[in-house]
Structure formats: structure tokens, C-alpha cells
Chains A and B, each alone.
Chain A
């Protein structure tokens, strides 16, 4: 493991480690259970993506971004339109109209078609938010751990920086270790 460990308040990291599984579970529940309870794909996807963002703030944005699989994320981004289109065309294939669900040859067709669409929406929305967050964080470097030299303190005349920043070479391919 070659990356610099990002150290922050142990209160924050511990709290986030403790809460993240529950928040993610709630997001997935919202996504998968949209036909019978509050929420749906959009809300569930946002909550699931918020889990990743919270982890990034607590454990280091760059480290979290390295941990993400870019190809899987890209697949999730296109999942929504693809699944929605497939379900819509399945209605045509089953002899109905575009987006007609009750002709599908499965039990409780409307429920399962709606669930499939919601999960697709959740995948797209969540992945898009994570991707935007990671890409906006390019060039952002966390306040470094003690001993690291990457910190660029931009103090000019009584102004303190919001966060220590350093320019970042655009990483076309994220190096994966571990």
C-alpha cells in the first residue's frame, strides 16, 4: 500500500464507518421498495450515492475514488435508460403498447416492471452523482496527513485557506494498488 493514509478526526471516521452500512441499506430499501413505500429509484439512488460521498469526506476523496471501479460506474450510468427502454419495448414485444406493463407474461407484471425501472433509475442517478462528485474533486487535495509534503498553504495577507490545495495532474488511469 503506497498511498498516504488520510487521517482526520477519529470521531468523524468512526461515526461514518458506523453509519454508512445503515444509510446504504436505507437507500437500497428505498430503491427496491418504491412500489409499496415512500420513495423510489431517484431518492434511493441519491441516498446510496450520498453514502459514497460521506465515505469520501471522512476517509479521503482520492482514496475513495481509487477504490471505485470506473467501468462498473459507467455501466451503472447507462443502466437506467437501457433498462427503461428494454422494459418499454418488452410491452411492444408482448403485443401491447410502448411502456404498457400489464401485457407482460409475468405475474404481477406492473409491479415487477415498475421495480425494474426504479432500480435502473436508481443506478443511473446514484452513479451520475458519484461520477460528478469524483470528477469535481479532481485537483482537490485533502489537508494532508502529518509528515506529508503535499500541502500547499496559500496564506496571503491575513487570509487563511478553506482547505489546503495543490494542483493535481489529471489522472487518466487511476493507479490501483492493494
Chain B
């Protein structure tokens, strides 16, 4: 029963995500596109929760639906919105080349889907002996959230590098904006 409900929910969410993704590209008003794109991130976040990846879902909701939307809103605040014509883009203004590239990328990605293992397949690398070690060893060390344990305790070098990247990106962005003070 639960499996049926979860399956139906997943299909509905995937359809929603697909619809708002296409809508993001099609709506004429940039402000509407930003809001629709936030809905896309929200749908993805709920999907992650459904697939039992709450850490990723939380990140998607906070970064994708929250902060990115705020930054986009600031970015478009200097633009003007068209008061006339319909709410979808004029099809004549779309370059066929762009449609072809987008379609080719989509088809190229879709043909790789059958190569993926089914959800929860036990013979994938994620269920190898190293996972069992991580789960039991992290619990022995008192770190109950295995995701945090992998990020900091077992993959500390990578996470150290990520923090350095965030720091360097901030310095670079402030340099490009020509600002020395952060606030």
C-alpha cells in the first residue's frame, strides 16, 4: 500500500517538476520564470525527501528554492517587464538551433537511463562492504548522521576543499564586484 502511494506521489512530483521546468523556459515574464523555477526546486526537494535523501532535500529547498530565487530577484530588478502580448514567449523569437541543442541533450541523457540500476538494487556499489563499515564505524564514534560522518570524518579532504572553494568563490565575486568590505 505504502509503495503504491509513494509511487503515485513520485510520478506526480516528476510530472510537476517536468512541467515547471518546461514552463520556466516558455514564460515570457522573467519574474514569473524565477518564481516557476523556485517551484521546480521545491518539487525536486520533496522528491529527495520521498527518496529518503533528507540532507539533499534540505539543501535543494534552502539553496535552490530559497537563496537562488532571492539572488535572481536581485539580478532582474534592473530589468523591465513587457506589459503587452501573451504570457508565453513568441514562438517566432525562438531560435531553431537552440531547440535542437536542447532536444539533443535531452535525448542523449534519456538513452543513458536504461543503464542505471533500479532504485534500491542491492548489487550497486553503494551497498558494498565500505558502506557497511561507514555505518557501523560512524555509530561507534557517536556520529549518528552517516552523511555528516562521510563528509567530515571519512572524506575530510574533499570537504576541506569545498570550504576552500566557497571561500575562494566569495573572494573572487567580491573582487569582480569591486568591493573590499563584505557588507
The B interface is mostly helix, strand or loop, or mixed, namely helix
User: Could you say which of A101, A134, A165 contacts B182, with CB atoms under 8 Å apart?
Assistant: A134
Question: B142-173 CB contact bits vs A (8 Å, 1 = yes)?
Answer: 11110111011100110110011011011001
Contact B142 A35 (CB under 8 A): yes
Determine whether B66 belongs to the interface, using a CB cutoff of 8 Å to chain A: yes
Q: Most chain-A Cβ atoms within 10 A of its Cβ — which of B31, B77, B152?
A: B152
Contact A47 B62 (CB under 8 A): yes
Docked Cα-Cα span, A77 to B173, in Å, equals 13
Contact status of A114 and B152, CB under 8 A, knowing A38-B55, A136-B71: yes
Number of A-B contacts (CB under 8 A): 174
Determine whether A70 belongs to the interface, using a CB cutoff of 8 Å to chain B: yes
Contact A160 B182 (CB under 8 A): no
Docked Cα-Cα span, A162 to B174, in Å, equals 26
Contact A121 B159 (CB under 8 A): yes
User: Contact size class for B?
Assistant: 35 or more
A97-140, CB < 8 A from B: 99, 101-102, 108, 110-111, 113-114, 117-118, 120-121, 124-125, 127-140
Pairs across A and B, CB under 8 Å, 30 listed: A35-B144, A35-B145, A36-B144, A38-B54, A38-B58, A39-B145, A49-B67, A53-B66, A53-B67, A70-B182, A73-B182, A73-B183, A77-B167, A78-B167, A81-B163, A85-B160, A88-B160, A101-B153, A111-B141, A114-B153, A118-B148, A130-B183, A131-B174, A133-B71, A134-B183, A135-B183, A156-B80, A159-B82, A162-B77, A170-B179
The 8 A-B pairs with the shortest beta carbon distances in the complex, nearest first, are: A131-B182, A99-B156, A110-B141, A46-B62, A128-B170, A70-B183, A36-B144, A68-B183
